[in-house]
Amino acid sequence: MKELIARRAARLIQPGSVVNLGIGIPTLVSRYLDPDAVHLHTENGLLGVGPPPPPDRVDPNLVDAGKQPITRRAGASFFDSAASFAMIRGGHVDVAVLGALQVDERGHVANWAVPGDPVLGVGGAMDLLSGVRTVIVLMTHSTRDGAPKLVRECTLPLTGLRPASFVVTELAVFRVDEEGLVLVERAPGVPLETVRARTAARFREGEPLLPPGEGEGSA
């Protein structure tokens, strides 16, 4: 299911983009991106992230934001955290792929604080949401308990007031415009009634993002 979401999200990313992938399902997106067509940015200081190294070639000082070993591609550059977040906040990163706990019907994202726990970790989530041009949220459609994650209004603390650009789940792809969520694609074999039944947020139906044969049915 996570692979399905990651694969679908990869196809929303335009060739030539500078892309920051968050921890979790977003990291899987790199498997479906043409490494020669995009530049992966990690906020701990590298533009030009390459695939994980074989175990005998791990460099402990070369990691991604999830602290996993990575490599660097030809043309990569290293920089410090302040410069890295200047790239993010300054609008120089084209696409951020983020996980989320909830998204509301206007596209607002809650992805950093869990109810009941003290609020002690935020990382780069707010900077990415605030600064990156296209924000793609990836998440499972429901919580483990079966509750919808696409809600009328977030009950969890918001990560920012800037809405996501797209929301991708295992059931559907939504685009976000000024008025809110627009259903633009359903996963193969998923009827509209299923999306409606499992989505608490109100949404409109819109035109598919991709031509027939590339959108619904092939994700």
> Active-site positions?
43
- CB-nearer residue toward other proteins: 125 or 184: 125
Task: For the segment 162-201, give every residue that binds other proteins (CB under 8 A).
Answer: none
Closest CA to 40 of 59, 13, 67: 13
* Single-letter amino acid, residue 140: T
CA angle 33–38–43, rounded 5-degree value:
100
What token pair was written down for 145? 């308990």
Contact 163, 98 (CB under 8 A): no
Taking residues 144 to 163 in sequence order and writing x for each that binds other proteins by CB under 8 A, - otherwise, the string is -------------xxxxx--
Nearest-approach distance from CB 219 to other proteins, in angstroms: 32
Tell me if 99 contacts other proteins by CB under 8 A. no
Task: For the segment 29-88, give every residue that binds other proteins (CB under 8 A).
Answer: 42-46, 59-63, 65, 67, 72, 78-82, 84-86, 88
Nearest-approach distance from CB 140 to other proteins, in angstroms: 21
Q: What is the distance between the alpha carbons of residues 156 and 143, in angstroms, rounded to a whole number? A: 13
Burial of 84 (0-12, 13-18, 19+ CB in 10 A): buried
Q: Which residues bind other proteins (CB under 8 A)?
A: 42-46, 59-63, 65, 67, 72, 78-82, 84-86, 88-89, 113, 117-127, 130-131, 157-161
